[in-house]
Amino acid sequence: NLTPSVKNDPLVRLPGTQPFPEGDVVLEAPTRCLNCHADYNTIVEPGFNWKGSMMAQSARDFVFWACMAVAGQDSAWAIGTPNAVDICERCHFPQGWLEGRSDPPNASAMVGSDFDGVHCDFCHRAYDPFFEDTFSGVREGSDQVYWDETNLSGTPSDDAATAAYQEDVRIAADISLFNEGAKDLPFFKNNQPPDGYNENGSGQYFISPTRDKRASFADAEARHGMYYSRYHKSKYFCGICHDVSNPVLANLGAAPGQPLPTESNSAYSYFHVERTFSEFMLSDYGLQGGSPGKGPFDPAIFETSLPDNAISKCQDCHMRDGVGAGCDKKGVPIRPDQSIEHPGSGQPIHDLTGGNIWVPTVLASSVQGSPNYDPVNGSLLNQGPAVLTLDLTAGEGLDPAALLAGADRSRQQLQLAASITDLEYFPASGDLHFRVQNQTGHKLISGFPEGRRMFLNIKVFKTGSLIQEVNPYDESAGTLKGLSYNYQADPLGKLPKPLSLAANEIYVDDLVYEMHPSSTLTGEQETFHFALADNRYKDNRIPPKGFRIGEASERLSVPRSHGADAPGYFTAAEYSGGYDEVQLQVAPDADHIEVSLYYQTTSREYMEFLRDEINGNPNNQTLPAGAYIIQSDPFFSGMKAWGNTIWELWTHNMNLDGAAPYLMTQAVYGSGQPLCTAESPVLFDAVAGNGSVTLNWTDMHTGNQDIIGYKIYYDQSGKAQFVDNAGLATSYTDTGLTNGSPYCYQVVSYTADCDSDFSNILCAIPSAGNGNRAGAQSIVTGILTKSGKGKNTTTVFTTLSIFSQGDEVVFRIGVVDVNTGSPLEGATVQLQISGPEVAFIESTASDTNGIAEARWKTQAPNRKGNGGTSTGDYSAAVSDITASGYVWDGVIVSTAFIVQ
């Protein structure tokens, strides 16, 4: 039966908010949020950066779709239903899952903003299931410095945190247990989850049923309801989805009358799929107070909100603090400098960047008009929901500029993640020593085992000739040479099988960093069937700094070698320092050696697996023949085309960064041509204008004919966002900017082969005041009187300063261009009326004489003489002037009048 209900299936039950109508949760689409949080400054605004992230594309990721199809088939074979797919959908389609559209579990019911993946309202409605311990300081400490709260008199953090805690207590009371015999018993007792349950990983989210938004600033203001959330500043927030386990296998055979294993144990304790968050928690960075970073994250160059710039949470690196505003409304603080309550916290950049270059690049190329538009990718990915279930036009759709910026950030993230240091070579013996330093807060590499890998390639030269290569890559076949993999025939006839290793080539498996699951269900030592995996065969990924190997077993995070735990795989020094000390012997008598570290988002081997599992290829089946039902069962009607589609996407795009190995870092022994001859320019000028900034930098190309141009980037708190290619010009004007927002820039020169390092950084704040200022020259009060009739009616303005209750007070404001003194047409003026009563009024646009007119209707008393506008002395003062291309000069002009 492949049309079961997931709602009542205990095997896929996880704690937290349950689907509608049980939880009565309806999320708002990102469109509502982007009205205010996008289109004003791509450097820091949440909208643009989120749209370029894999969070926003979690439901459009074509690798995920093919993987989900296989998981459904595997689930049907193992437990008789495809319900395990519900676990995929709860994190990749959180809105659709919460609103009950994961039933049936093939994503066919998903609509609209479900395809926007992990979006704004989902994250900003999440609350902390450990609210009691967080509020009391037991979980992460009560130190105000950790939360970046001044706690000064009159500042709101304490009261706001208390209000959030009280709301958490109220809504958590509706969360219940599920297992037969314990159903509908409260999940929380005395505001605490069940004993043994101390982290809500693997998609166990708790979502508020109200529309109030939760975020990390107590001094924010908005038109929607808000709660101040310390949870959103916490490392535990990211653990919701980044410790992934298989609850289906855990819940098999659950005892009646007791909480399910998934309701009484943390996800990290059963059936490893991914352990990024556990790896962070086992590092020095996961300890109370965090730890100083390494390399580009060294506290001398990397800023966080903690003292001494310690790193203590995932957000420090994956949602860096920027300088700017959180939305496009007037009066919003430019963080961090304009925040009194959170002076150490900048505006979080919602880029959420990982290492996936390939998927966002290919998605962008499917959109006509994209700079990298590819009609083949457009045809493959836009076959429509009737064929692939995937609808790329649903919800926000695809923003190619944002996706390509996201891919660029992923390149930079990978380059920041590692370094190769302490390189030594002894020509007489051929001994080669070096260190691969993990500069991240988790294992390197991290994440889901979908064929992703990192590997060292070593090229050994003598007198200009390559005499030996370790871990060579076959570009024509799209994979490493030397792998023991049973390659199947390419149905498209495009890819050859990998070449055999040549006499001077070596494959060293220990220098290929990856995690390979294993499965007793399928009998495979190494498997891609993640839904059927119950152990790990290989895990030699480099630990982060301070990795506590003695605690790793509890989180199923011990290194593995040939199917066995290998706690001694790394030395105590390597665990402490977060590196892999590599020692191997290569050819002696070399004079030049290149050691390169590469990363792949996925591999040919995984793409072949997906193709063959979906198509039911009889030559490469790892399950009994009867298990292959995708091509025949109606349940998979919208997924069966993924077999050919994913393979065609791979063969067509296998040479793009991320599918092809991407160079993370490199070290060189010996003499030879410099890796890059492009030299960094010096940015010496950033001049702000009205909605613009003009940049000037040094000429590097006249003295170096290899340089063929310059590229301009925004600085994004240590990363860079591409702005434009200036060719060989050494000046550039960036236009269309938001006045009042800071913009920081850096420049590179480039050759035909490479880019230089970045230049220095200069910042500027565009403002209309840099060009034109508008000011009020005078304010006159009076009344309007009419005379005559019909076409002969005339209106006369009479100056007055004393008015009766019921009069309409007319204000005439003379507006001028302050720079020239000339009358300014088309300006509107905001006035604040003060006195016994307070009012705010706005004028009509000024005429050709610069006169803007505003009116305030006073109220007459009733027949008994009661009521009416309060009498007394009043004043009217200019509070703002708005005119295209102008900024108010800030001079407050006022006038006095009386109501009697």
**Structure tokens given for 724:** 């434009």
Check whether 541 has a pLDDT greater than 60. Answer: yes
CB-based contacts of 154: which residues, under 8 Å, 6+ apart? none
pLDDT of residue 24: 64
Query: Three-state SS for 291?
Result: strand
Would you give the distance in Å from CA 380 to the centre of its chain? 26
Q: Assign 374 a pLDDT band (cuts: 50, 70, 90).
A: very high
The overall longest dimension of the chain from CA atoms, in Å, is 112
CA-CA distance, 465 to 487, in Å (whole number)?
A: 31
Count of CA atoms in the C-beta half-sphere (13 A) of 582: 31
Query: Taking Cα atoms as reference points, which of 669, 611, 199 lies closest to residue 424?
Result: 669
**Structure tokens given for 106:** 């093939």
Work out the average pLDDT over 185-207: 93
Number of helices (H) and strands (E) in the chain: give both, helices first. 22, 38
Work out the average pLDDT over 218-245: 94
pLDDT of residue 179: 61
Q: Assign 672 a pLDDT band (cuts: 50, 70, 90).
A: low
Backbone angles phi, psi at 722, to 5 degrees: -60, 135
Q: Assign 145 a pLDDT band (cuts: 50, 70, 90).
A: confident
Work out the average pLDDT over 500-515: 97
Residue recorded with tokens 């045809």: 379
State the DSSP H helix or E strand holding residue 355, giving kind and residue range, or none if neither. Answer: none
Work out the average pLDDT over 186-207: 93
Residue recorded with tokens 């004393």: 802
* Predicted confidence (pLDDT) per residue in 153-172, tens digit: 777 898 999 999 999 999 99
Average pLDDT of the chain is 93
Check whether 32 has a pLDDT greater than 80. Answer: yes
Environment class of residue 892 by beta-carbon count within 10 Å: exposed (0-12), middle (13-18) or buried (19+)? exposed
**Structure tokens given for 151:** 């706690």
pLDDT of residue 787: 82
* Predicted confidence (pLDDT) per residue in 600-638, tens digit: 999 999 999 999 999 999 888 889 999 999 999 999 999
pLDDT of residue 22: 52
CA-CA distance, 422 to 577, in Å (whole number)?
A: 14
pLDDT of residue 746: 98
Check whether 771 has a pLDDT greater than 70. Answer: no
Check whether 769 has a pLDDT greater than 70. Answer: no
* Predicted confidence (pLDDT) per residue in 543-579, tens digit: 999 999 999 999 999 999 999 999 999 999 999 999 9
Q: Assign 781 a pLDDT band (cuts: 50, 70, 90).
A: very high
Work out the average pLDDT over 239-247: 94
| 255-269, 325-339, 557-571: least confidently modelled range | 255-269
Q: Could you list the beta-strand ranges (E) of 101-222.
A: 213-215
Check whether 778 has a pLDDT greater than 80. Answer: yes
**Length of the chain as a residue count:** 900
Q: Which of 301-310, 442-451, 651-660 has the highest mean pLDDT?
A: 651-660
Q: Assign 886 a pLDDT band (cuts: 50, 70, 90).
A: confident
How big, in percent rounded to 5, are the helix, strand and coil portions of the chain?
A: 25, 25, 50
* Predicted confidence (pLDDT) per residue in 83-99, tens digit: 999 999 999 999 999 99
Check whether 269 has a pLDDT greater than 70. Answer: yes
**Apex 861 CA angle, 860 and 867, nearest 5:** 120
The rounded percent of the chain whose pLDDT value lies above 70 is: 98
CB neighbour burial string for 759-796, b if at least 16 within 10 angstroms, e if fewer = bebbebbbbbbbbbbbbbeebebbbeeeeeeeeeeeee
> Is the model's pTM score more than 0.75?
yes
> Do residues 448 and 242 touch, judged by C-beta distance below 8 A?
no
pLDDT of residue 181: 60
**Structure tokens given for 802:** 């004393």
pLDDT of residue 50: 98
* Predicted confidence (pLDDT) per residue in 388-440, tens digit: 999 999 999 999 999 999 999 999 999 999 999 999 999 999 999 999 999 99
Query: Taking Cα atoms as reference points, which of 756, 857, 745 lies closest to residue 808?
Result: 857
Q: Assign 811 a pLDDT band (cuts: 50, 70, 90).
A: very high
CB neighbour burial string for 175-185, b if at least 16 within 10 angstroms, e if fewer = bbbbbeebeee
Check whether 587 has a pLDDT greater than 80. Answer: yes
pLDDT of residue 3: 58
pLDDT of residue 155: 74
pLDDT of residue 620: 81
The CA distances from residue 521 to 515, 565, 753, in Å, are 18, 20, 49
DSSP 162-184: HHHHHHHHHHHTT-B--STTTTT
Question: Other C-beta atoms within 10 Å of 350: how many?
Answer: 24
- The dihedral built from the CA positions of residue 113, 115, 119 and 122, taken in this order, carries a sign that is positive
> Do residues 318 and 53 touch, judged by C-beta distance below 8 A?
no
Environment class of residue 331 by beta-carbon count within 10 Å: exposed (0-12), middle (13-18) or buried (19+)? exposed
CB-based contacts of 670: which residues, under 8 Å, 6+ apart? 425, 461, 590, 591, 592, 593
